[in-house]
Structure 1
Amino acid sequence: MTQEGAPGMKMLPRVLTGAAALLALAAPILLFAQPASAASRDGVCDSGEFCYYYNSSEQGSVSDFTSSVSDYGTTEPTCYDFKGPGNGQGTCIKNNAASVWNRSSQTVRVYYNTSYAGSYQDITAGAKGNLNATLMNENASHQFLSSGGSTCSTSGLGDPNTCAQAVSWAKSHEATTYNADYYDRCDHVVGLAYGWGASGSTTAYNHWLAVPSAYKHAGDRNVPAGGLAFFSGGAGHVMISIGGGQFVSSDIGGNGTLTVTTIATIESRWGKPYLGWTQPWFQANH
């Protein structure tokens, strides 16, 4: 995956003394409801908000959020910027934040890349402190997380098949011999499972990028049956969960096959980094 930051270009003069340990949750699941108590973005770190600071140790100008953002932008006046008074005010926040304060009730994950990808750091509810050495001044997106459970749902998506029907299709179409409809067509296969003649996306990775954040669970490996698991690396890869940590995937059992596998197998055998899972959202219907 192409890394968007520049690890060797840390803005060390802005780093102040003192560091606070930031706690991380193990494998949280994403939730996108905005905290009801949070105020609008005004450069003040209010209760219910996640806040970036331009300097370390929660110093300098503040940029406050109540929801996930997949791309901050890099050019004024359209980028997300530091709004509060102090050092850094008016600067775009992408690759310019040194510390954070999470005043929301949810864990917030800060990513090195846009679109919720690359290295990340989890900031638990109530935690404050400096971003780690990888993320300091190299922040490109963030997501609000939760430890609650998630299930597959086609509500409002217009899919011809339900999640259960898609799982049944995947299981009934497993194949250990070559089928031209499956070879190098992973995104087409998951589209077929949900009753589409075509997924509407040119590649699996483009499909991942197109899915709205409300339906996307970046980094979460607890994929419910019917959920679509995505990987980066070239055109990427996608497969459908059948529950219990198992998936039906094209080609992993040989060219043109459709067999049961796991996330770890895709990662180790093909070297494709796992991105996360999504609800069955398809460009064919959007």
Structure 2
Amino acid sequence: MRTLNKILTVATAVAALGGSVLATASPASAASRNGKCESGEFCLYFNSGNKGSVSDFTGSVADYGTKQPSCFDFKGSGAGKGKCVKNSAASVWNRSSKTVRVYFNSNYGGRYQDFKAGAKGNLNSGLKNQNASHEFAPGSTSKCSTAGLGDRRTCAQAVAWAKSHITHTYHSDYANRCDHVVGLAYGFSASGSTSAYRHWLAVPSRYKHPGSTNVPAGGLAFFSGGYGHVMISIGGGKFVSNDIGGKGTLTVTTIGAIKSKWGKPYLGWTQPWFQANH
């Protein structure tokens, strides 16, 4: 899925001729995560008392993952460095401006413990080394918004476009052109990015929700692996994606289906920000 837009045919040609291959990246290698607990971040520590290696986050994560290289890991120096965060954290420091909730289960489920802005502390006995997800501002519902983005369609209009263009018949404009498809949904003739993964990297952090699978209708869900993949949410955990139901088609699918069928690690979702107009 997973390919280049016609807008940048030079880049396509370079790749075809054996140019440098686009580097892949997992959620655990996001540039904003450097193993230091900085202002605005929520940090998990490998040991109690805010000791050991640190894993720092700027947003909610619904599933940390369980295996390298795709899991969120401890990045700071000290005990635990390189280990996956899931079921391995003992303490936290919330340096963000929002309450953060740590959950026993993935996808924000099971028992939990809240940490207010600025709070430091150990995970309680029910969560120490049994942590599977965390949520910024628990209870709030993120919504798709085009405010200030200059999109040619609203989130609702983009969803309506996606639903109205569902097809099981081959269409040359959809085949291997996932980033182009989401651009079409929002009224652009091309997204402006050379691939879905490049699109993800270009989106400013304030419009990103790394790791979150609670994607509102109109939000764009991204995956890494090769050129990556992107699809548009139509709400209720469902998405319209090209190629997953057959090359050149647009069909309804899920995040789980993309991960299972194509083996692509999930990155998170973004508001409809496009390089075409930025």
Residues 52 and 97 in structure 1, CA contact (< 8 A), matched pair in contact too: no
Q: Which residue of the partner structure matches residue 76 of structure 2?
A: 95
* Shift of residue 94, structure 1, vs aligned partner: 5.5
Q: Which residue of the partner structure matches residue 182 of structure 2?
A: 190
- Provide the secondary structure at the position in 2 that maps to 1:238: strand
* Shift of residue 186, structure 1, vs aligned partner: 0.2
- Provide the secondary structure at the position in 2 that maps to 1:167: helix
Residues 26 and 224 in structure 2, CA contact (< 8 A), matched pair in contact too: no
Tell me the TM-score normalised to structure 2 length.
0.61
Residues 50 and 108 in structure 1, CA contact (< 8 A), matched pair in contact too: no
Distance in 2 (CA, whole Å) between partners of 1:49 and 1:251 is: 37
* Shift of residue 57, structure 1, vs aligned partner: 2.9
Distance in 2 (CA, whole Å) between partners of 1:97 and 1:200 is: 42
* Shift of residue 58, structure 1, vs aligned partner: 3.0
Distance in 1 (CA, whole Å) between partners of 2:51 and 2:267 is: 32
1:49–1:276 Cα change, 3 Å? closer
1:108–1:199 Cα change, 3 Å? farther
1:201–1:260 Cα change, 3 Å? same
1:225–1:55 Cα change, 3 Å? closer
Tell me the TM-score normalised to structure 1 length.
0.59
- Mapping for residues 1-150 of structure 1, pairs under 5 Å: 2=25, 50=42, 57-58=49-50, 68=58, 95-96=76-77, 100-102=92-94, 104=96, 105-107=98-100, 124-125=114-115, 126=119, 128-129=121-122, 145-147=136-138, 148-150=140-142
Query: Larger helix proportion, structure 1 or 2?
Result: 2
Q: Which residue of the partner structure matches residue 220 of structure 2?
A: 228
Between 1 and 2, higher relative CO (CA 8 Å, sep ≥ 6) is seen in: 2
- Provide the secondary structure at the position in 1 that maps to 2:248: coil
- Specify the code of the residue in structure 2 equivalent to 1:68: T
Distance in 2 (CA, whole Å) between partners of 1:159 and 1:270 is: 30
Q: Which residue of the partner structure matches residue 78 of structure 1?
A: none
Identity of aligned residues (%): 63
Q: Which residue of the partner structure matches residue 40 of structure 1?
A: none
Q: Which residue of the partner structure matches residue 267 of structure 2?
A: 275
Largest Rg, 1 or 2: 1
Distance in 1 (CA, whole Å) between partners of 2:207 and 2:141 is: 14
- Specify the code of the residue in structure 2 equivalent to 1:95: G
Distance in 2 (CA, whole Å) between partners of 1:128 and 1:161 is: 45
1:249 aligns with 2:230: no
Q: Which residue of the partner structure matches residue 37 of structure 1?
A: none
- Specify the code of the residue in structure 2 equivalent to 1:232: S
* Shift of residue 96, structure 1, vs aligned partner: 2.3
1:94–1:199 Cα change, 3 Å? same
> How many corresponding residue pairs?
205
Q: Which runs of 5+ in 1 are unaligned?
A: 7-42, 70-92, 110-121, 134-142
Distance in 1 (CA, whole Å) between partners of 2:237 and 2:206 is: 23
CA-to-partner distance for each residue in 1:113-165, whole Å, 9 max, x for gaps? Answer: xxxxxxxxx995145349x99xxxxxxxxx98222101111000000111111
Distance in 2 (CA, whole Å) between partners of 1:154 and 1:193 is: 13
- Provide the secondary structure at the position in 1 that maps to 2:247: coil
1:108–1:187 Cα change, 3 Å? farther
* Shift of residue 246, structure 1, vs aligned partner: 1.2
1:218–1:185 Cα change, 3 Å? same
Residues 160 and 195 in structure 1, CA contact (< 8 A), matched pair in contact too: yes
Q: Which runs of 5+ in 2 are unaligned?
A: 1-23, 30-35, 60-73, 80-90, 103-111
- Specify the code of the residue in structure 2 equivalent to 1:128: G
* Shift of residue 106, structure 1, vs aligned partner: 2.2
- Mapping for residues 172-191 of structure 1, pairs under 5 Å: 172-191=164-183
Q: Which residue of the partner structure matches residue 147 of structure 2?
A: 155
